[in-house]
Amino acid sequence: MKYKAINKFIDKENEDTLYNVGDEYPKGDYKPTKKRIDELSKVHPKYKAAFIKQKEPPASNKTKKE
Q: What is the pTM of this model?
A: 0.80
Determine the pLDDT at residue 61.
63
Determine the pLDDT at residue 57.
74
Determine the pLDDT at residue 27.
94
Q: Which residue has the higher pLDDT, 6 or 28?
A: 6
> How far apart (Å, rounded) are the C-alpha atoms in residues 26 and 4?
8
pLDDT digits (tens, 9 = 90+) for 13-66: 999 999 999 999 999 999 999 999 999 999 999 999 999 999 887 776 666 555
Categorise residue 62: left if φ over 0, alpha if ψ from -120 to 50, beta otherwise: beta
Determine the pLDDT at residue 14.
94
